[in-house]
Structure 1
Amino acid sequence: MSTGVARGRLSEERRAWRKNHPHGFVAKPETAPDGSVNLMVWHCIIPGKAGTDWEGGNYPLTLYFTEDYPSKAPKCMFPKDFFHLNVYGSGMVCLSILNEDGWRPSITVRQILVGVQDLLHQPNPASPANYDEYELFVKDPAEYQRRVRQQAKQYPPLV
């Protein structure tokens, strides 16, 4: 797949996002100090869903695209050591729509971000990425929820 396909698709995604995106979400390509835009890296904010333990947090997520996009999913990374049973210690998100078997080229940045937001409050214990968080989720759900609420305070609402 040529370089132009990935960047062309990402330009379309950027235009679509600017016109219509879910309330509270942020997704924008990286801007270099010289003002140039890198469409291959997007800095995003995912708001915690109202009525969940994630509420009140605005969680930073970075999307890393390759020249193979949209044939291959981007890597989605929270900060290192982000607390969630489906997030590796490196920050990489483990979500079915992002793996090789679940990815479809028609999946959009919007769908990825909404899917990650859903994963936050509806973790998948059948596919844990972090065993310690998984154990806590299964054996001490109250402590897991407390840690989630504590983490939400580390990522306060955008002003």
Structure 2
Amino acid sequence: MVLTPTRELCIQVEDQAKLLGKGLPFKTALVVGGDAMAGQIYRIQQGVELIVGTPGRLIDLLMKHDVELDETMIFVLDEVDCMLERGFRDQVMQIFRALPQPQILMYSATISPEVEKMTSSMVKDIVHVSVGKLNKPNKAVKQYLSGLSQRKRSKSFLIF
């Protein structure tokens, strides 16, 4: 599951995920305000590999429509600085508590000491990965996708 602060960012993330999963048995659900909730619920109930959403809409689905997130293995907070500083904190924590101890990935171009302290309280054995100068975007970063067979997947964790 990927959580982002805005509908527009959710759409961008889902579009990129679909590109990366093209040709694979990979289904997504976009869970944002402004779209019909019934369609979002149906999509999730049919089974998806990835949910991309905003905190408010996801809370609505959890509270009012009994959407289950029991099989969530990875919880991604994009723009974690915004998610934990600007009014989303309680919603993010409510979603976090509803999950079955997933691996947590948090991304941000910048991070304040206050947010860093909060993220440390959410995660045990935290690992910080920084590319370039702290709190500065790095234009030299390139992303690659490498497919692995099921057999090789269990032996390989990262490929550069």
TM-score, scaled relative to structure 1: 0.26
Task: Identify the structure with the greater strand proportion.
Answer: 1
Q: By percentage of residues, which structure has more helix?
A: 2
Q: TM-score, normalised by structure 2?
A: 0.26
